[in-house]
Structure formats: C-alpha cells, structure tokens
Structure 1
Amino acid sequence: MPDGYGVYGVLDDDGETLLCHECGVRAAALHRHASFVHAMTAEQYRTAHGLRRTQPLVSTAVRNKQRAAALRRMERNPAGWARLEAARDPWAAVDARTPEELRGNAASHAGRLAHPGPAAKPLKARVCVRCGTTWTPPTPAQRRRRTCDGEECARMQGPYRRPLAADEIAALRDASADPDERMRLAVALTESGASQRAIAAAAGMDRVRLRKAVWQARNPVPGVSGSGHVAAGDRAAARRGPAAEDDPAGRSHG
C-alpha cells in the first residue's frame, strides 16, 4: 500500500541510503533525518509507517561499518568479551520480567510517544532580518535561518535574482576596457533587477566592489564616482581643507 513517498510497512534500502516516507529524501541515518527535519522520534516514525519496533533506521552500509567496528573492538580485547559472554544469561532476564514490569514498559513507551523530547518541542519565533516579519521556522532543520522567505521577503529579495541576458553579458564584456563605464553598467544592471553574482562573473569583477558601488549609487557622496573613485581635484581640495579653497595659491589663513 502506498504510504507517502514509499510503501507502508516497507523500508526502501538501496544499500547506501534509506528512502524517507515523509519527504522522499534518501538518508544513510533515517532516524537522525526524521528527528531534525520532521520532528519525529524513531519510534514515532516506525509507528506512522508500519515498521516493526526492531527495524533499524540506518542503511546496510552503516550497519556493516558498525559491525566491523564491533569486531575490531572484540579483537582488541578478546578476554573481556569472553567474560561478557560467559556472564550473559538471556533466559534469566526473560524469567525476571514480571507482568507488572511489562505493563510499566508499555506505559513508558506510550509516554515517550506522547512527549518525544527536544526534537518535537515548539520552535521559538524570531524576526526576519530582511523584512522584519516575526516568523517561526517550520522544521528544526531551519532553526538557524535568519530570513522567512515570505511574500514581502521574496519581494525585497527578488530584484537581485534575475539572470543576465546574452546582450547584457556582451555589453559588460565590451566595456571591460573602461573600468568606470563597466562599473556604471554593472550598477545599472543591478538596479534593473539582475543578479549581482551573474554580473560579477560576466564582468570579471569583485562582488564586494560591485556591492560597494551599488550602495554608493543609492547613497551618493559628493566627489565620489559610481565606481568608487574620488576625483583628483576633490582629493586635493580635501587635503587643503575648506579655508584653502578660497585661496588659489593655497596660502594659510591662520
């Protein structure tokens, strides 16, 4: 019977990974994936998808590695493992389990399903650093995200994700001989909605300089061009100071 992305009661193991019934992702350790992505314990996952309680939620490759590691430990300390085997009495353990103990274990199991622990605790709300909206991460795997990707957030982010057209790439390459013209074109493309990553790659420029030029274009500073260069006359005037600008000879008025 189909069950989500898999089959109810069947764990799809290709040798290296297991198929998640919830989302279709393949993972080597399904219990860890279910905990962090779907906020489910291993017991909850087995119950929800009809798996037996003893079904391991790791792939065959992981189990083989664990078995090899256990054998290496046994080889390093054979005397200790021999003492353990001699002391084991499985039937004595079975006889020691009373009906009251079994009922207590069942109640404890039900309690763990009702209160699965930290993986299923409600996540804290936070403020999106881009649009200022208060939001809650949908899964524990996204608890470290700083943006919400809501409609307003996507609208603010969207203008910088458009890929470059072929003619825009050609224009950037044609302007490579003139750094100022190339930077002005790059800023104009950014303002028109093109991706800064694509612009920097096509023009062969540093993304940090491009972001700085875009910021300067939006917040113009007198004497600073769109490419971030200060004109020579403005640098000389800045060195002379405001009083020297009135005196062509640059004499001091002190």
Structure 2
Amino acid sequence: MSSEVGDPDGFGVFGVLNEDTDGLLCHDCGHRFTHLGLHAYKAHGMTADEYRKAHGLARRGLVVAETRATIKENARRTFSSRVAFIAARNPAAASAAQRGGPDSISPAGLAAIRETARTRRGTQRLGTVVTCEWCGAQFCPLLGASKRRFCCRSCSSRHNRGQRGRPAQDT
C-alpha cells in the first residue's frame, strides 16, 4: 500500500514539509531543524534523497527558507570571483549528468570525491559533546582530536600551570 499526499506519516503528513518559526518538522522523530537533510543523515542514517522519497517530499526545500535565502545570496555574491570554476564550467554536461540520475557519477567524479574525503579526514567533528575539564564549557572536538579534554589552549595552559584561579563551577 503506497501513501498518498495528506496521509499521516510519522510525526508529519506524507508529501507535506511542515515549516514554522522553529524550523522544519522531522517526520521520523518529531523535532524541528534548520537543515532537515543534514539532520536526516546524522540522526537517522539516510541521505536527503532517501528521506524525501520515504516521506513523499519535493526535490528541494529541506532547508529553512531564511537559511536557503542566505545561501543563495552568498552564492550570488561570490560566484563572479570563482574564475577557474567559470572557465571550466560545462552546463550541457552538468545537465546530462543530472538527467542520468543520482547514481551516475563519472569515474573522475568518484576519484575527486575519494580524494576530498581522504584530505578531510580528521577535520570533521566527532559528533559527541565533551565538557571542558577546566571551565565547564561544552564543545564538540574534531575527529583527529578525540581525546581532547579542554575547550581551548587557554584552559589547557591554566590546567597545566596548576589549579589556582579555577573558575567557579555551577552545580
């Protein structure tokens, strides 16, 4: 049995993207987010395309309208400065690749994706929240710094110099 637009779908309605001042409603968990595609990937292990298909949503629009407008404005403002990109741009080839579907990535594209992933290793966030042992601030360390105990060099230095001047902890 397939769902139709308007049918109940988890916490939302099938085919309807629910947006209000708090953000976009996730059909799977019921929380609201600014960037629903990113949330679906991190929290539910599905790509934005998989999330759209599962809930009957349109191809675009998994970002809050205000954020989408900011992204669009930043792209318009910086596009003219990307000389190499403009020179190498081939709209006909891009359209043909897009029509081929999301699974039709060229071998050169796959190699570029792998190279980017290899060079970015250790620069992304770990995904867990850690509390600084010195000041109590919460932070999310990078993958390459999974054993970090302090939020900044300043707190680390203060800890290494001794316990004097320790900030008061809220309990």
Q: TM-score scaled to structure 2, two decimals? A: 0.46
Query: Where is the strand percentage greater, Structure 1 or Structure 2?
Result: 2
Query: Where is the helix percentage greater, Structure 1 or Structure 2?
Result: 1
Question: Which structure: larger Rg?
Answer: 1
